[in-house]
Structure 1
């Protein structure tokens, strides 16, 4: 009847909450790696060395490792609306810092502030969304959030490429600011504050242990390219980081209300899918960062061409997402994980061949294959880890999934970056026996800016006789290609170990493992 409101329809306030939380979740999460296509331009403008460049990505990922599992607890203690809005403000402040950063130090600091904002806001975006809607619309809303997040992951990289090509990489961060303002104002007005959970407390010690441990490990891996793995300056933070992570595990096992319940990890049905998630995320982040650099610095492609070439890595989620979900529900999850890990391994080896031959056409099908492999692993591995536990522990499993992916990305990128840099420097210096005589040891380490045409690299080249300049550039090209080839093969080897591990475990349940109760 005209004038009678449909009882199933959302109110304007609910629609605003839905728009704000979905926008925040999709855009903030995509901000972590969408900057990859702009890395070569940033490196050239700020004169960042290749060994330090990965910190632009890692600085935003590290806070997620430490805070993603904390944000839910903070929401219970302080209120989900309050913590969500604090995260949005933090992300906006970090975006401003990045936009005006005059050097790599301030840029990395801004990315770290952004990462804190993402860690606080993204997990609570879903909580605020579902609490604002009636029960019969929550599943639909989660589906919309998933679809929008997938769509944004496909659209953002080429959009960033266009923005960087026609304007500046700084405008990428400027563009985040009005979105942040909209989400903050809409959330302040329409999101209702959640009641504080009685007796909820924060595991501050656990948070400090995991944050400090992971940061020290990443720092040790990053500096190992300068100092070497056997140097005391590398071993000291490495040992300290490992000790802090051991202390974190011991503290969480003894805590009555742990920050992250690690007990489910003793079950192979949980630990193996989570390992698959971590390995897959490591492979994806390595390709995202280093293949992007290769396309622009070695093959001399522009940002738009690079963004378009990297697009196949995202379309698989759109094509296969619904199908994988249905197959997983029918019990094919372990086959999908094995198949996805195998395809990822093949894709990395294929990319290694293409890089070795410096042939862009060889890379396109490999990138498309990688894009098809990733959606086979993520949802099915997540479902397997959830299904291996009773319903009462599935919240813990969800937290472990987030942690596994972020640790895979952060630690994987740090470790592979150390390998990449070591191979690149050794290969380049081996090819520069004569030109190297013109440089000090410190200047030799700065030769990796030659490919970016940064001011430091060009100043070093200007000191060489004309006949030697081309030789240095060719050596830098060859060293980058060799280092990327080695890194891709190493990542493929890591994935192959994951496949063997999964094969050993996934055959066991078929003879008699009981399914957990609901």
Structure 2
């Protein structure tokens, strides 16, 4: 998941799933709902607490900045590349079955993460976690959609979203407390009891369901996009150590671009089996919302990754305090979404999908000038709340616009594509903004060779003793540059929203 908020269009996936044809008792429905909440929350909580634990993990495992990025990127790579395949597999082979396979993979990988002796094992285990999440997340949403009919879905989605808001609020704080008082390993091992409960409820009470019209899996497309994203992510991540002109960096970026072009060719050649039908992009609204999603979630993914380093290394926050910093964000997102949806219905999505990203950009711009070591309530709380209000205004109309842009028959796949775009945006943000961080850091230490600057940056991020004041100052400036770049991306998303989204809603009817 993407930090302290669920991905866009999750509710759209639920609403687009056909209802199971056999009547189920209310007890079975409630316990199936509990299983889906536990399953999706397991992956969601894990994604929200790992960023808080990264400084402690880097220090404990003596990892460099690139390896630390792959703790997040390994997970997001498999999740973003395969989540559409996971949804198709659930429709084809059975939603409960794929849910249980995903839970099993995620749980075994969580245990491996918690017992990792070094950074390499941790990164590999996180990648397997991403694979498990790519199966269990869409399957849990489809199970929920298949269980409740049209009259019950709104209430079920409300319960599911409400619990999601609570886990979003509690997850980072709980994760920070575990890091401070138990161990960073505990944030992974805590998944085990949740997984046992989710699997037990699914086995005992959830009914199996399929989509009789499900298409075969697009393995070629999935492989092409996974290799392409992996190569680009590796190339961007290698820039700090090797430089942009390094032959391997350029080769990786070129290889990644080639595989992504191959992915588009595969999708165009076999539209009946494509996991991302290119015909959807004939809709201006669909194209615009996905471009907006890529930019806004790129900005959000960057701040969720790098802000904990700033709070802990520059502001002197503990992991618990850093986790609590995001509490206002989670609460505003969780309990303000209905208001933003009503606002969009009244004035049209174009207004919300322009103002929301612009306000998000304002929050990020504010963060770029924040005093990391100053009082929380005056230095960090206001920009975090501004960021949250912007995202709150964006997510609900984003979901409705994506679904309305392609018609009811394609609403499910459109929602899935938008979800995948959001996750890929987070992946690219960590890699690209990591390169921005290093470039700015090196610029402010102009008298230092790039290789040495990379070593110093690793020392700052890991909280090693003996770091000079000049290095700390350079890191602070570099972090502010990252926030400025993220703010620019969010603002560009707002401009795209204004230029591409058609105005609908009560404002047009009056």
> Normalising by structure 2, what TM-score?
0.89
Instruction: Measure the CA separation in 2 of the matches of 1:148 and 1:110.
Output: 27
* 1:190 equivalenced with 2:199 (yes/no): no
* 1:172 equivalenced with 2:177 (yes/no): no
**Structure 1 counterpart of 2:430, from 397, 400, 413:** 413
Counterpart position of 1:478: 473
Name the SS for the 2:370 alignment partner: helix
Q: 1:150 to 1:445 in 2, by over 3 A?
A: same
Per-residue CA deviations over 1:197-217 (Å, capped at 9, x if unaligned) read 367311111111111111111
Q: 1:484 to 1:252 in 2, by over 3 A?
A: same
Name the SS for the 1:450 alignment partner: helix
Runs of 5+ unmatched residues, structure 1? 1-7, 459-468
Q: By how many angstroms is 1:418 displaced?
A: 1.2
- In the TM superposition, 1:301-340 aligns within 5 A as 301-340=317-356
**Structure 1 counterpart of 2:244, from 229, 253, 258:** 229
Instruction: Measure the CA separation in 1 of the matches of 2:496 and 2:146.
Output: 39
Give yes or no for contact 1:282–1:408 (8 Å, CA) kept in 2: yes
Q: By how many angstroms is 1:427 displaced?
A: 2.5
* 1:491 equivalenced with 2:507 (yes/no): no
Per-residue CA deviations over 1:414-453 (Å, capped at 9, x if unaligned) read 11111112222343463xx6xx8xxxx8665322343356
Give yes or no for contact 1:99–1:173 (8 Å, CA) kept in 2: yes
Higher relative contact order (CA 8 A, sep 6+): 2
Counterpart position of 1:278: 294
Counterpart position of 1:366: 383
Q: By how many angstroms is 1:196 displaced?
A: 6.5
Instruction: Measure the CA separation in 2 of the matches of 1:137 and 1:308.
Output: 34
* 1:446 equivalenced with 2:463 (yes/no): no
Rg (Cα) greater in structure? 1
**Structure 1 counterpart of 2:408, from 391, 399, 403:** 391
**Structure 1 counterpart of 2:155, from 117, 121, 140:** 140
Name the SS for the 1:93 alignment partner: helix
Q: 1:425 to 1:240 in 2, by over 3 A?
A: same
> Normalising by structure 1, what TM-score?
0.87
Instruction: Measure the CA separation in 2 of the matches of 1:199 and 1:318.
Output: 33
Counterpart position of 2:393: 376
Counterpart position of 2:137: 122
Per-residue CA deviations over 1:115-173 (Å, capped at 9, x if unaligned) read 11111001111211232345532332122111111221111111111121111111111
Counterpart position of 1:500: 495
Runs of 5+ unmatched residues, structure 2? 1-22
Name the SS for the 1:451 alignment partner: helix
Counterpart position of 1:461: none
**Structure 1 counterpart of 2:62, from 41, 47, 61:** 47
Aligned Cα root-mean-square deviation (Å) = 2.4
